Amino acid sequence: MEESWATLGVDLHLETGGAATRSGVRKGLTDALREAVRGGRLAPGTRLPSSRSLAVDLGIARNTVADAYADLVAEGWLTARQGSGTRVAERAVPRPAGPAPRRRVTGGPTYDLKPGTPDLGSFPRADWLKAARRALTAAPNDAFGYGDPRGRIELRTALADYLARARGVHTDPDRIVVCAGFVHGLRVLGDVLRARGLREMTVESYGLDVHWNLLKRAGLRTKPLPFDELGTSTAELGAVPKSSKVALLTPAHQFPTGVPLHPDRRAAAVDWARREGGLILEDDYDGEFRYDRQPVGALQGLDPDRVVYLGTASKSLAPGLRLGWMVLPAPLAAEVVEAQGGAALACGALDQLTLAEFITSGAYDRHVRGVRLRYRRRRDQLVEALAARAPEVRATGIAAGLHAVLELPPGTERSVIQAASWRRLAVQGLADFRHPAARVPERDALVVGYGTPPDHAWAGALEALCGVLP
């Protein structure tokens, strides 16, 4: 006969062999415990109940449990020491005989130079903690409620002041909506614009497929603009149909090529939006990081009624914060707030209050200045290493941002990426960022995120990179 008890957090199946004699119950309990250890359901070091407790749980005699424990101690499955009770022995569980399974090499790359992520080790933990304490101490009671779907007024006020000062954005707190990063903001905007009747959005020839796929899921096709040495060509905007009069651009620092939108083309894009009733979505993903030139102000400053400005803390602080913002024309702001729902669902109020305190206290500016110097040094070291060890490889798009484009000899992009993978170096080719319908010449290049590695890994990553370049 077989009976089952749920105890020790596992099911013990006691085979008593028919009559529930004391010897049969003892053997059944011994076998059940041995099998639980062998199968891993009772892990090494697990403390077993006392013989009295287990006997009560199972409804059997205490001596039967004590004898079963003693048998398993003698066999080496359990240990019993004064003061520490009975535990599963720290020993390797025997495996069935047979050929050893082939081991599979797993694990991530030794060095990561993929673009899109800052040095996460540079996150200002101590200063952020101070800001969080101050924000929590000063937080009003309503901060713990469902909140405004636009986000906390403290953060929207701080952002309005900061963006005007640092990026030339014209807005007020009522036209800012806090979101959980750029992708979340783009998803909400895609839904709103689709509800307005939009069927197709104009995008750049190079960008992120995650953005194009997100728009596709919202029911929007994407059509790329031409691209040349001056960046994205806006001349074809005038030819787009009425159902496509929205353009997604990265004008300050095109991702990933690093080319800023030419001043004439910036003006042409805004003129098109005014003339045709169009809308520009401006992705200002790394606006704080400028090295060899004056900052390029936000396109939104040229016409706040025709440009939606999107920014985040993902590059300046860390993507894990999930904090972003949309600066919207007044009519669109109301629609976005409605799409957000009746409560603030994007991100936690305490994180928003902390960022507001971080900005208004000056800690954000100090942090950005510090990491800007660090990233500039890395960029300079990258350029110096290329000149010394790979003079045929030219770095472009390096006046700003956290990544560089390394121009490779024709036909070598795939082979360089393969060589990098053998050395456990994660890199991406420019081809990964080309829109499937883009009409641009083939370019062999690597997009290298020099901001990604932590400080202790930067020298090794640079050495590994130079070792795979032609």
What are the pLDDT tens digits along the chain (470 aa)? 444 444 555 556 665 544 567 778 888 888 888 888 887 778 888 888 888 888 887 888 888 888 888 888 888 888 888 777 888 888 644 544 444 444 444 567 899 999 999 999 999 999 999 999 999 999 999 999 888 889 999 999 999 999 999 999 999 999 999 999 999 999 999 999 999 999 999 999 999 999 999 999 999 999 999 998 888 999 889 887 777 899 999 999 999 999 999 999 999 999 999 999 999 999 999 988 988 777 788 999 999 999 999 999 999 999 999 999 999 999 899 999 888 765 555 689 999 999 999 999 999 999 999 999 999 999 999 999 999 999 999 999 999 999 999 999 999 999 999 999 999 999 999 999 999 999 888 899 999 999 999 999 999 999 999 999 99
Q: Beta strand 2-7 with 10-15: parallel, antiparallel or unpaired?
A: antiparallel
CATH code at position 436: 3.90.1150.10
188 SS3 class: helix
Structure tokens at 103: 């081991």
Q: What are the backbone angles phi and psi of residue 361, rounded to the nearest 5°? A: -80, -10
Q: In this structure, are 337 and 259 located in the same domain?
A: yes
Are 215 and 190 in contact, with CB atoms under 8 Å apart?
yes
Q: In this structure, are 380 and 462 located in the same domain?
A: yes
Q: In this structure, are 159 and 277 located in the same domain?
A: yes
Domain region containing 292: 123-365
Q: Mention every residue, 6+ apart, whose C-beta is less than 8 A from residue 211.
A: 183, 186, 203, 248
Q: DSSP label at 44? A: T
CATH code at position 320: 3.40.640.10
Alpha-carbon gap, residue 303 to 329, rounded angstroms? 9
Whether 98 is covered by a domain: the verdict is no
Q: In this structure, are 233 and 345 located in the same domain?
A: yes
Whether 10 is covered by a domain: the verdict is yes
- The last residue of one of the domains, among 318, 345, 365, is 365
Q: DSSP label at 60? A: S
* CA angle (29 as vertex; 27, 35 as ends), nearest 5: 100
163 SS3 class: helix
Alpha-carbon gap, residue 123 to 355, rounded angstroms? 13
Q: In this structure, are 210 and 352 located in the same domain?
A: yes
CATH code at position 21: 1.10.10.10
Alpha-carbon gap, residue 204 to 70, rounded angstroms? 74
Q: In this structure, are 452 and 306 located in the same domain?
A: no
Whether 33 is covered by a domain: the verdict is yes
290 SS3 class: strand
Whether 100 is covered by a domain: the verdict is no
Whether 96 is covered by a domain: the verdict is no
Q: In this structure, are 46 and 177 located in the same domain?
A: no
> Which residue type, as a one-letter code, is found at position 429?
G
Whether 106 is covered by a domain: the verdict is no
pTM equals 0.77
Give helix then strand counts, H and E, for the chain. Answer: 13, 19
Q: In this structure, are 285 and 423 located in the same domain?
A: no
Q: In this structure, are 386 and 329 located in the same domain?
A: no
Q: In this structure, are 195 and 62 located in the same domain?
A: no
Are 313 and 158 in contact, with CB atoms under 8 Å apart?
no
Q: In this structure, are 353 and 390 located in the same domain?
A: no
Whether 238 is covered by a domain: the verdict is yes
Q: DSSP label at 99? A: P
Where b means 16+ CB within 10 Å and e means fewer, 407-418 reads ebeeebbeebbe
Q: In this structure, are 245 and 378 located in the same domain?
A: no
- The last residue of one of the domains, among 365, 386, 406, is 365
Q: How many independent structural domains does the chain possess?
A: 3
Are 258 and 396 in contact, with CB atoms under 8 Å apart?
yes
